[in-house]
Amino acid sequence: MLMPDAPSNTESLPTSVDLAGEYQASGVAEILDELDRELVGLKPVKQRIRETAALLLVERARRAMGLSHEPPSLHMSFTGNPGTGKTTVALRMANLLHRLGYIRKGHLVSVTRDDLVGQYIGHTAPKTKEILKKAMGGVLFIDEAYYLYRPDNERDYGQEAIEILLQVMENNRDDLVVILAGYADRMDRFFESNPGFRSRIAHHIDFPDYDNGELLSIAESMLSRQGYRFDSKASAVMSDYIARRRRQPHFANARSIRNALDRARLRQANRLFEESAGPVDAEQLSTITARDIAASRVFATVEPSHTETSP
């Protein structure tokens, strides 16, 4: 005697999904709005994040409707100069992936070579595995990842860490996202020397340098978060500072701007102590003047003349 067929589970599955509603309910819109507020510029980076969010929302909708689905590999490479927001974006990416159910915890573990590679035989494997254990369920961010590989040193243990990472990236890609970061040219050479990494990373995101106007906006935003502001002349001097500093060695985008503001605050504090014979008010304590910026050594460098001289 044939038993009656069991009722199909597909009968209770939705036949359509409101993607716009899912977008709002998931909190993704909030994360992207926050990213826009916190990070100036970076339009191509923000676009890639939105595309990743759209991919995961569609994948979640397919799963909800009983369609065939396979979680995409989201291991990434972030390339760009220092101070372009790579770590900040990695933090927001971890939060976004957690909101969309791709990773369990949504935390970020940020490491460098020293956190993964040991200095003697038998030291690297436990160090690397301990970091991976901490990162599981979240995002592992490896800054200056190319330092893992040192082919010129036969006694280097970075290759052991690389092999462990590659295995975990393949076997645990549904529970861990790995982001490798660093200078673009060095990352290219790293991938050429380690094809296993290139084959496991589907998303390569380049972080462009900020232009002068964006850097000034970053400076004003940083000051505002600290409870300071430029006076009417200081913004113009800061613009001049940025143009000069960008032409000097070791410029690190937003990182260099933050350092410049720290030094300006130091000069402001000393100026207030030296010049104030009596009480100072909140306005004085919160204002960075043109003098506080113009005292920088950057202005001691003679700028080349752009005017032609007759022979």
Q: In the beta sheet, which residues pair with residue 205?
A: 78
pLDDT at 6: 45
Q: Rounded to an integer, what distance in angstroms lies between the CA atom of residue 253 and that of residue 245?
A: 10
Q: Mean pLDDT across the stretch 261-282?
A: 92
- The predicted model scores a pTM of 0.84
Tokens 């990434």: give the residue.
76
Paired tokens of 223: 């000051």
Paired tokens of 165: 């990472």
* Predicted confidence (pLDDT) per residue in 33-89, tens digit: 888 888 899 999 999 998 888 888 888 888 878 887 677 889 999 999 999 999 999
pLDDT > 70 fraction of the chain, expressed in percent and rounded: 92
The residue that leads in pLDDT, 14 or 306, is 14
Q: Is the pLDDT of residue 208 over 90?
A: yes
- Range with the lowest mean pLDDT among 61-65, 149-153, 180-184? 149-153
pLDDT at 65: 83
pLDDT > 90 fraction of the chain, expressed in percent and rounded: 61
Instruction: Compute the mean pLDDT over every residue in the chain, rounded to the nearest whole number.
Output: 88
pLDDT at 276: 78
Phi, psi angle pair for 139, to nearest 5° = -120, 130
Which residues have a Cβ under 8 Å from the Cβ of 297 and sit 6 or more positions away? none
DSSP-derived 3-state class of residue 168: helix
DSSP-derived 3-state class of residue 248: coil
Spell out the domains of the chain, with CATH numbers in brackets: 24-207 (3.40.50.300), 212-300 (1.10.8.60)
Q: Give the DSSP letter string of 217-259.
A: HHHHHHHHHTT-EE-TTHHHHHHHHHHHHHTSTT--THHHHHH
Q: Mean pLDDT across the stretch 170-177?
A: 91
pLDDT at 308: 38
Q: Is the pLDDT of residue 304 over 60?
A: no
